[in-house]
Amino acid sequence: MARIMEETRKAFITGNEAVTWGALAAGAEIMFGYPITPQNEVMHYWTRLAPQYGKGFLQTEDELSAGFTVCGSVQSGKKAFTATAGPGNVLMQEPFGMAEAMRLPLFAVIQQRGGPSSGTVVYSQQEVTLTTFGGNGEGHRIVYSTASHQEIYDYTIKGFNTAWKYRFPTFLLGDGYQAKMREPLEMYNPEDRGIEMIDTYPLIGLPGHIGENREPQHLCNIYSLEEELYEVVMRVSAEYEAISPELVEYEEKECEDADIIVLSHGVVSRAADDAVKELRAQGIKAGYFRPITLRPYPQKQLREAIAKSGAKKLLIAESAYGQLDRLTKQEIYGETIKIENLFMPGVGIIDYDIISKVKSSL
């Protein structure tokens, strides 16, 4: 694989640019995309950089097409990806569903904007439900929720590998703040960090001669009988559950003796981190827990944090009206810890908001 940069270098760039560089470093070969704010600059940077590295790009007629061209491209064995947001994410649920059904190694970057509908072009965390459980399926997806530009770069590289290793559609869930902010990060070639990139391979368009040394490939996502589909979904569910423990990622701080655990994800977790530090400085025993993977969810680790801390309360803070809250509750069903909420749909959350909420909750 061609080296994208001569050596590790520091950069001060937007999150969308970090996606592009991460995709290049990961060996992505082609992007299919359709304009929607706030992910546009992923395409802007890609279209400028891609020709220098012999990569492909197509601006499709809509997000349906962007998603389905990625499905076709990965079936033919290419490391393809797309990026979208908001109503574009809604349209892409159709191809994402096909990727789930056919176990296609699709990788997509979602930069959340406000909703419902056209909402705002700015920011939110309102695409959690859609990205984790969208489509007419069972949520057999892997979703990384990033909180910094370094993570955007790291998880773009990791996202391609996860998609191709496990063949479940994989998502990097960012947001408009992360997309548009500039922030320092280190960019590197994966091999310089000991990261081995997973080789891609075609599912159709295979080498050889049909009838002589290979069979024709017949891929499908529809079944005639209920029992056929049942067996497929049960088998895929079992595979997903089997790999979940090795996929789960999370961050936990100060939970050992916490009276209250602040639970958040994505960029809000940075405010939560600051808030917990400040609360601790004021003598309030606050803890911090952040799922990095929203699918699969680190439910075992969260249950353990609750158990070992003996915390009386869990504060769920998010820039949505309860999407992380619902996801968390279904994952930790049976826990009796009291759950408080800080729901600020479509607007940013700062440490002050969380500190105030914690103080009023205790």
Partner 1 sequence: MGMIAPVTPKSWYLPSKPHKFCPGCGHGIVLKALGETIDELEIQDKVVFGCDIGCSLLAWNFFACDSTQTHHGRTTPVMVGIKRSRPELVTIGYMGDGGGYSIGSQHLLNAAVRNEKVSLILVNNTNYGMTGGQMAPTTLPGQKTETSPFGRDPELTGYPTKGPEFLAELTSDKAYVARATVAKYKQLKRFLRNALRNQMEGNGFSFVEVLSTCPTNWRTNAQQTWNFLEEEMEPYFPVGELKSPFGKGDK
Regarding 68 and contact with partner 1 (CB under 8 A), the answer is yes
- Binds partner 1 (CB under 8 A): choice among 194, 196, 201, 209: 209
Binding of partner 1 by 78 (CB under 8 A): yes
Residues 96-155 that bind partner 1 (CB under 8 A): 98
- Positions 17 through 46 that interact with partner 1 (CB under 8 A): 29-30, 32
Contacts with partner 1: how many residues (CB under 8 A)?
40
Minimum CB distance to partner 1 smaller for 58 or for 121: 58
Residue 163 engages partner 1 in binding (rule: CB under 8 A):
no
Q: Which residue has the tokens 């509750």?
A: 329
Sign of CA dihedral 202, 204, 207, 213: positive
Q: Helix, strand or coil for residue 18?
A: helix
Determine the Cα–Cα distance for residues 52 and 67; give it in Å rounded to an integer.
Answer: 25
Per CB under 8 A, which region of 5-13, 182-190, 212-220, 238-246 contacts partner 1? Answer: 212-220
**Which span sits near partner 1 by CB under 8 A: 57-65, 133-141, 249-257, 349-357?**
57-65
How far apart are alpha carbons 297 and 124 in whole angstroms?
A: 20
56 binds partner 1 (CB under 8 A): yes
Nearer to partner 1, 70 or 305 (CB): 70
Of positions 60, 150, 301, 341, contacts partner 1 by CB under 8 A: 60
User: How many other CB atoms sit within 10 Å of the CB of residue 44?
Assistant: 15
Task: Residue 2: name the closest of 46, 52, 70, 75 by CA.
Answer: 52
Range in contact with partner 1 (rule: CB under 8 A) among 61-69, 150-158, 170-178, 287-295:
61-69
Out of 20, 39, 40, 73, name the contact with partner 1 by CB under 8 A: 73
Q: Is 83 in the site for partner 1 (CB under 8 A)?
A: no
Q: Which is nearer to partner 1, 216 or 283 (CB)?
A: 216
Taking contact as CB under 8 A, which single stretch among the options 94-102, 121-129, 150-158, 338-346 is the one that binds partner 1?
94-102
C-beta closer to partner 1: residue 78 or 329: 78
54 part of the interface to partner 1, by CB under 8 A: no
Name the maximum alpha-carbon separation found in the chain. Answer: 75
**Which string of b and e fits 67-77 if b means at least 16 CB within 10 Å?**
bbbbbebbbeb
Could you tell me the smallest distance in angstroms from the CB atom of residue 72 to partner 1?
Answer: 3
In sequence order, the 6+-apart residues with CB closer than 8 A to the CB of 182 are: 12, 13, 14
Token pair 């158990």 in the structure block, residue: 307
Nearer to partner 1, 80 or 342 (CB): 80
Residue 217 binding partner 1, by CB under 8 A: yes
**DSSP letters spanning 67-128:** HHHHHHHHHTT--EEEEE-HHHHHHHHHHHHHHHHHT---EEEEEE---STT--SS--STTH
Q: 63-75 and 86-102 helices cross at what angle (nearest 10)?
A: 30
| Relative orientation angle of helices 268-281 and 351-361, to the nearest 10 degrees | 60
Q: Which residues contact 284 (CB under 8 A, 6 or more apart)?
A: 259, 260, 358, 359, 362
69 binds partner 1 per the rule CB under 8 A: yes
Q: Which residues bind partner 1 (CB under 8 A)?
A: 29-30, 32, 56, 58, 60-62, 64-65, 68-73, 75-78, 80, 94-95, 98, 202-206, 208-211, 216-222
